[in-house]
Structure 1
């Protein structure tokens, strides 16, 4: 008997997120694993299903190929594509079906964005044509000197462009020579910790925090001082009480990761006073401050730094795309020579041509226009997703809307554990993350972190509906139990 697509293929998201072929593959695989499709059941033909779903035949063919490659379906000349008769106990596969499966037909190492994935800019609307034009332009300009060993501090025109951008957008008055181009945020952080920390030194970390920061500090053998976060940001006084003589602090003052709050001005001044008195350094991770939807972006902590205690860290991963692996540090004068020497000694591994392309992209004004466009787009996508989630979940969730950022924090009214909620969401192709996994020592509550940058406005209702269906085995059961 041929199985019709009906609800099995409902709510497919047609822009951003997971490719349609992958979504079809996941839906059919889960239906087979749950017993909705039984061994011997016939699937619609590629032509029929493509017509019913108004998509290209190649998309359906790719989904069927993935299913066949993993043994879920077989093709018989007369019967067409059927669920493999060898899956006699398909329901027994249900636990495994709840886990994401990587198709062997996809080249290894190539990742597609998950639905509501954290930390990604709008990949679907990046100006690829314009970017390709700048690449071609820089290639034509290349000369023999570009084949020499690169400056370990980074391509000079890029450093100049970054300094000019920070002066106008973040209030940071610095000489371009203070700018050091790094291998993304992580490369800059690892470099700073290698130079500033000795084994056993104490370091302040926000609680909750950005997990790679914690991992880097632990790898550097620092003793973590978990400083709790409230509505005014890091509780600086608590950090001083725990470890007045700490060597450094890593903070996200403009948009705390992951709670989204901003460090208040009194606490910014308190943090700078502590750093001056303790002869400590503050690493300011300014990862997504460009995307503020209420008022103007807040000035950077570095703009208030008169004692040269702040190391400012920025990245192009959120403003352009993460595949660039380019970030930068703005360093106090007293640290610059040491950082450049260590970078030169270890080899930065940076791509000189990529730096030239970014420099050209900025110099021609494309970067500023791209950010302006993304701010408008993200504001609309955030509003659409928040409205869709509210319509779908009602009073069962609370959505914490901060003035800026690239993600939402969902708080569930039930007592469902966020780790289980996130596990169910991820099994259905979502990139959601549990808030509790970001905690160091203090309890920051239960919640689900979801990105909105790759969720098109038109897709928001379908995404919200799909999320509700994915997690309702936990959230609905808990609500009824209450």
Structure 2
């Protein structure tokens, strides 16, 4: 009998390859359906650890041939296992056992497992100074509730059924209109994919572009969750240093010219805050065009710029159409909405639609409809203007209090935009220890040193000002001073 050609098959045919075909006993005369039998066998193998997390499972076509059953039956089984978290579909790179699945866990153990201590109770507000959280007290909840109630009254049976893998058309159109005015990006609605936050955009770009061991340039220091996402997908992370002009493109081209993708925060580099200079932007786009490579622009907080002219989006000057542009509503509306968007290069529209249909059936349509109404009826632009005004005042209040209470012991980096400030305490020890001390007192700054992979950017604490009202700044800084100085 010939060996299966797939390298990580969970159903190898050869006698020395571990799990054999006869481990799956499909009884066609059984009262239990073939689909249910197949589901039970694969699920048991995953739970009992006979298939390891991260292993690739056979394609539906090859497994159908091996077992002599209909391919549609296997499609249904894989879809069911994927929806339950046992498998992860990765587009053309195949389907794998979920990397985070704990091998050997029995169903009873899984059901009894406690919730993570990192998951706050629904009534718990984020701690002061925590990154990535907008001003939740400024969100117009009454307006949102009214729009949600109106959309709920419009629900028909057809709308309850219909799914939009690329996103609800009304929201995609609203995003196109917003980007044209706010970011100078000209695109069509069919180029916009509504994603499950920025993580959804990362996953889609990886599915469209990358295969294991492809090189990906990442800013260093940079966004740790992007690094973790690409590592989990078996990509080769290439940390590229940044300076006052942003990503050092010439260094990247000299050391790793064959990278497939570069991920950049061109408007406000995370976490240091500087924009990517015009010279570096031109060099990055030239590299992508010359090497048949691509750029993912994470424009995570472009809406919040407080002095000078806001830097243009890299996508707005992308003449060769090499840039994927990602935005998120987590920092402009609220994080639990879990909606973001990705603007595709035109060449990827058809492929992306097929991939979205295969990976999922789209983000929740009802929430998308409410967000579309919020944008198209002018509430979004009004909300952003209000937030910018409050953020400017809150940032100033926090920085002023830090200087007043710490005096010469503090160095504050205030960039023209963004949602956090970088504060250095040169006389008070390692930033990791300072952050740990602050967390013990209910504060949540992040140590800068932990955002670096290979290129040290010094030490300091990253602090968000968004959820600290001006009148609360003195109290928060006093608590921080107590944790750092003991007085």
> Which bracket does the TM-score occupy, shorter chain normalised?
0.7 to 0.9
Partner of 2:273: 260
Cα deviation digits, residues 55-76 of structure 1 (max 9, x gap)? xxxxxxxxxxxxxxxxxxxxxx
Does the alignment pair 1:404 with 2:417? yes
Given the alignment of the two structures, is residue 132 of structure 1 paired with residue 145 of structure 2, yes or no?
yes
Q: Is the 8 A contact 2:447 2:461 kept in 1?
A: yes
Which runs of structure 2 are paired with 1:16-415 in the superposition (5 Å)?
108=121, 111-348=124-361, 350-414=363-427
Q: Point out 4+ residue stretches in structure 1 off by more than 6 angstroms.
A: none
**Distance in 1 of aligned mates of 2:294 and 2:399:** 38
Report deviation, 1:412: 1.2
| C-alpha contact 1:197 1:220 (8 A) present in aligned 2 | no
Q: What secondary structure, in the 3-state scheme, does the structure 2 residue paired with 1:287 have? A: coil
1:192-215 deviation digits (Å, cap 9, x = unpaired):
112211111111000001110100
Q: CA deviation at 1:111?
A: 4.3
TM (norm. structure 1) is: 0.75
1:409 and 1:453 map into 2 onto residues whose CA distance is 14
- 2:424 aligned counterpart, secondary structure: strand
Structure-2 separation of matches of 1:248 and 1:115: 35
SS at match of 1:323: helix
Report the Cα distance in structure 1 between the residues aligned to 2:284 and 2:274, rounded to whole angstroms. 16
Structure 1 residues 129, 309: closer, same or farther in 2, change over 3 A?
same
Q: Pick 1 or 2: higher relative contact order, CA cutoff 8 A, min separation 6.
A: 1
> Residues 170 and 298 of structure 1 are in contact (CA less than 8 Å); yes or no, is this contact kept in structure 2?
no
Q: CA distance change for structure 1 residues 249 and 348 in 2, over 3 Å: closer, same or farther?
A: farther
Give the SS at the match of 2:434. helix
Deviations 1:126-164 (A, max 9, x none): 111111111111112222321223110100010000000
Match of 2:436 among 414, 423, 429: 423
Residue of structure 2 equivalent to 1:18: none
The separation in 1 between residues aligned to 2:462 and 2:278, in whole angstroms, is 26
- 5+ unaligned residues in a row in structure 2: which ranges? 1-114
Give the drift of 1:311. 0.0
CA 1:116–1:142: 2 relative to 1, 3 Å: same
Q: Contact conserved, 1:396 with 1:414, CA < 8 A, in 2?
A: yes
Shift of 1:294: 0.7
Shift in Å, 1:299: 1.3
* SS at 2:380 equivalent: helix
Shift of 1:344: 0.8
Q: Deviations over 1:273-306 (max 9, x none)?
A: 0000010110000000100001342210000101
Q: Distance in 1 between matches of 2:116 and 2:263?
A: 39
Could you tell me how far apart the structure 1 residues matched to 2:461 and 2:255 are?
A: 29
Residue 295 to residue 148, structure 1, CA distance change in 2 (3 Å): same
Tell me the TM-score normalised to structure 2 length.
Answer: 0.74
Count of aligned pairs between the two proteins: 372
| Alignment gaps of 5+ in structure 1 | 1-101, 477-482
